[in-house]
Chain A
Amino acid sequence: MEMAQNIILTIMTAATPLLIAAIGELVVERSGVLNLGVEGMMVIGAVCGFAAAAVTGSPWIGVLAAIVAGALFSLPFGFLTLSLATNQVATGLSLTLLGVGLSGLIGEAFVGSAGLRLQSIAIPGLVDIPLVGRLLFGQDPIFYMSIALTAGVVWFLFRTRAGLTLRAIGDSHGSAHALGISVIKARYLAVMFGGACAGLAGGHLSLVYTPQWVENMTAGRGWIALALVVFASWRPWRVMAGAYLFGAVTIGQLHTQALGFGIPSQLLSSLPYLATVVVLVLISRNRRLTMMNTPASLGRPFVPDR
């Protein structure tokens, strides 16, 4: 029982950064913007979070730094795609390339230095509930944030006027503009929210999951988060389900590696990436499902005429 609990615990920890980054990107894409820079913003969040924690000695300041760094780093993408109407695919890619390069430079001084771990918070009373207590109420703070974030985004998108407006912008930016909604401003806010989420997800990697700085430590998680949004057909709760599925694949292959079985470790390490391809195929072959849920303006640049 103890063992099963531990495994589920690690699955949840592995899933948290995927969930946070994907929820952020979901909001961005719902507003009609495709930001392929998630990997870049995530790795910037990871290095800034680690560096801030190492310099100040407080992992909480690290978390804050990761969020702020991710949000700020999304701004150049926002400026190019929104104010200058550049190609979103190419601009997002360049954000990732820039982020990976910049994080290597920033992190150079911190390679090999001991990290600070953000301590778990056990919620008194609830943590003693048999079976699920430790899983749900004895976790790291960013886990709680990820759950609150998902619920908050569901509430915002589907229960508030601002959320309805955001979805309208994503589906038809021309109509939204004609109704007097400031499309560009709303998209800037969405892009920054996505950046903050990606930054926090990176911070989780370098402050909770493996508290250290390793170059390229995001290892494609930003791209998997992007795939999760498609997999979930732009629905927040499905993003959560997908993130936990991927957490299970990641942890499952790690445990299999530890046990041996003579399976090459490289094959097992490639499972999360292969799984991404497989789930993308499974979800996209249903054309109606993807067509119905894809924000209609996704990836199309918008220049307000006046």
Chain B
Amino acid sequence: MRLQLVRRPQHSSLMAAVSPLIAFALTLIIGAIIFIAIGKPPGAALYAYFVAPLTEMWSLHELAIKASPLIIIAVGLSVAYLSNNWNIGAEGQFIMGGIFGSLIPIVFPGFQNVLTLPLMILFGILGGMAWGAIPAFLKTRFNTNEILTSLMLVYVAQLFLDWLARGWLRDPQGYAFPGSIRFPPAATLPEIAPSQGGAHYGLVFALFVAVALWFVMTRTLKGFEVRVMGASPRAGRFAGFSSKRMTYFAFLLSGGLAGLAGISEVSGAIGQLRETISPGYGFTAIIVAFLGRLNPLGAVVAGFVLALTYLGGEAAQISLGISDKLARVFQGLLLFLVLACDTLIYYRVRFSAGRKAGEAA
């Protein structure tokens, strides 16, 4: 039996809508098989993973805390990937945003007024942009592969944060433990509904950013430019678009948003600069971007789905003793299946027996 792809005359809008759902359903089926293989009841395990976190108010807040950074980063990455600029170093830009934004409350602890938070956020965005500008500069100036350089800078950023949190920015009264002073209230991103749970204004940023970029991508010339440059840089050049400017736009936007996510996380969820500030949000956001079909609004839905796997992993470990490492497997699996199902949008898949498939396509 042979598998054969037949290009559709037009891409299927039905498949474009349902392919992420098919991928999610397949992930659940494979998940059930994994649970059976490790001797856990599949029904209870899937419930713990994907339903239990949705049943209580406080855990919905936890879901929002985890979804916000994923959405903010993924929205930027969606635009970058659509323009064919492969920024896979969002994790590093997230960290740099966290560091830059934290400089204000740590270096100037006396500066506490209404300007503190806006300045921190501005610094966070600038930090992410600066880190994202490096691969963009190297790509446009020296033709260097942006995938490899942006990824290498993740490791550099992680080590830089580790050095700062153990050295220069460490709390002098912290008994030699790594980590900065705890931020004062003026430097803490407030909670949306403190009586119900801990979700902070990062969620508002996430929704705002998603809607704003959806508008830019679908209703403005800039959005058109991004699509054209991604699909055919040659056609774009004839239209007067510059591929170098597009590379900078993609990296500054996705880097800046990753930086915004970083400072929101540090200021809203953690409350101090630690030696690690991300459980891999910058990489998981890549999955979010693709699951959301590189659409900013899709990223919102996808962000919540991926956040659910983080929470579900913790829940299943407590209630059923299933390793929380399984959450990472689910995330990787989901991206794999999303990419596989995307083929259905552009191709019909046929199975033919034997090698004599001579019919006209």
Residues on A lying within 8 angstroms of B by beta carbon are: 36, 76, 79-80, 83-87, 89-91, 93-95, 97-102, 104-105, 108, 219-220, 223, 226-227, 230, 264, 266-267, 269-270, 273-274, 276-277, 280-281, 284-285, 287, 290, 303, 305-306
B100 within 8 A of A: no
A87, A90, A226, A269 pick with most chain B CB within 10 angstroms = A90
Would B155 and A270 count as touching, CB distance under 8 A?
yes
The 10 A-B residue pairs with the shortest CB-CB distance, nearest first, are A101-B328, A98-B332, A266-B163, A94-B335, A266-B159, A84-B343, A104-B325, A105-B325, A285-B142, A97-B332
Say whether, besides A305-B361, A306-B357, A101 and B332 are in contact (CB < 8 Å). yes
B326 within 8 A of A: yes
In angstroms, how far is the closest chain A Cβ from the Cβ of B275?
10
**Could you tell me the distance between the alpha carbons of A285 and B143 in the complex, rounded to whole angstroms?**
6
Would B339 and A90 count as touching, CB distance under 8 A?
yes
Would B148 and A227 count as touching, CB distance under 8 A?
yes
Would A105 and B328 count as touching, CB distance under 8 A?
yes
A-B contact pairs, 23 of them (CB 8 A): A76-B336, A80-B336, A85-B343, A91-B336, A93-B335, A94-B287, A98-B329, A100-B328, A101-B327, A101-B329, A101-B332, A104-B325, A226-B148, A230-B145, A264-B167, A269-B159, A277-B148, A280-B138, A281-B138, A284-B143, A285-B143, A285-B144, A306-B357
Say whether, besides A90-B339, A97-B331, A97-B332, A274 and B325 are in contact (CB < 8 Å). no
List of A residues within 8 angstroms of B144 by Cβ: 277, 280-281, 284-285
Q: Using an 8 Å CB-CB cutoff, how does the interface string of B1-27 with A read, 1 for contact, 0 for none?
A: 001110100000000000000000000
B156 within 8 A of A: yes
**Could you tell me the distance between the alpha carbons of A199 and B160 in the complex, rounded to whole angstroms?**
30
In angstroms, how far is the closest chain A Cβ from the Cβ of B21?
18
List of B residues within 8 angstroms of A101 by Cβ: 325, 327-332
Looking at chain A's contact residues, the main secondary structure is: helix
List of B residues within 8 angstroms of A99 by Cβ: 332
Give the number of A-B contacts (CB < 8 Å): 137
Q: Which residue of A lies closest to B167 (CB)?
A: A264
Would A303 and B148 count as touching, CB distance under 8 A?
no
**Could you tell me the distance between the alpha carbons of A288 and B223 in the complex, rounded to whole angstroms?**
33
Q: Which residue of B lies closest to A34 (CB)?
A: B147
**Could you tell me the distance between the alpha carbons of A36 and B138 in the complex, rounded to whole angstroms?**
20
Would A105 and B167 count as touching, CB distance under 8 A?
no
**Could you tell me the distance between the alpha carbons of A277 and B167 in the complex, rounded to whole angstroms?**
26
List of B residues within 8 angstroms of A90 by Cβ: 81, 290, 335, 339
Given contacts A86-B339, A97-B332, 10 further A-B pairs with CB under 8 A are A83-B5, A94-B335, A102-B332, A105-B328, A223-B148, A264-B163, A270-B160, A277-B152, A284-B144, A290-B143
Would A273 and B332 count as touching, CB distance under 8 A?
no
List of A residues within 8 angstroms of B7 by Cβ: 303
**Could you tell me the distance between the alpha carbons of A105 and B323 in the complex, rounded to whole angstroms?**
7
Choose one: B88, B143, B323; the contact of A108 (CB below 8 Å): B323
**Could you tell me the distance between the alpha carbons of A223 and B159 in the complex, rounded to whole angstroms?**
17
**Could you tell me the distance between the alpha carbons of A283 and B132 in the complex, rounded to whole angstroms?**
21
In angstroms, how far is the closest chain B Cβ from the Cβ of A70?
16
Choose one: B152, B162, B340, B357; the contact of A273 (CB below 8 Å): B152
**Could you tell me the distance between the alpha carbons of A94 and B27 in the complex, rounded to whole angstroms?**
14
B58 within 8 A of A: no
Would A86 and B342 count as touching, CB distance under 8 A?
yes
**Could you tell me the distance between the alpha carbons of A106 and B333 in the complex, rounded to whole angstroms?**
15
**Could you tell me the distance between the alpha carbons of A226 and B145 in the complex, rounded to whole angstroms?**
11
**Could you tell me the distance between the alpha carbons of A303 and B151 in the complex, rounded to whole angstroms?**
30
In angstroms, how far is the closest chain B Cβ from the Cβ of A282?
8
Q: Which residue of B lies closest to A265 (CB)?
A: B163
**Could you tell me the distance between the alpha carbons of A264 and B160 in the complex, rounded to whole angstroms?**
10
List of A residues within 8 angstroms of B287 by Cβ: 94, 97
Would A93 and B286 count as touching, CB distance under 8 A?
yes
**Could you tell me the distance between the alpha carbons of A99 and B283 in the complex, rounded to whole angstroms?**
13
Say whether, besides A101-B328, A285-B143, A273 and B148 are in contact (CB < 8 Å). no
List of A residues within 8 angstroms of B331 by Cβ: 97, 101
Choose one: A76, A97, A266, A290; the contact of B286 (CB below 8 Å): A97
B149 within 8 A of A: yes
Choose one: A94, A108, A269, A274; the contact of B152 (CB below 8 Å): A274
B347 within 8 A of A: yes
B354 within 8 A of A: no
Would B152 and A220 count as touching, CB distance under 8 A?
yes
Q: Which residue of B lies closest to A40 (CB)?
A: B332
B358 within 8 A of A: yes
**Could you tell me the distance between the alpha carbons of A114 and B282 in the complex, rounded to whole angstroms?**
33
B308 within 8 A of A: no
Choose one: B81, B147, B153, B283; the contact of A97 (CB below 8 Å): B283
B86 within 8 A of A: yes
A89, A100, A230, A270 pick with most chain B CB within 10 angstroms = A270
**Could you tell me the distance between the alpha carbons of A98 and B152 in the complex, rounded to whole angstroms?**
19
Q: Which residue of A lies closest to B349 (CB)?
A: A84
Would A91 and B333 count as touching, CB distance under 8 A?
no
Would B5 and A306 count as touching, CB distance under 8 A?
no
**Could you tell me the distance between the alpha carbons of A264 and B361 in the complex, rounded to whole angstroms?**
63
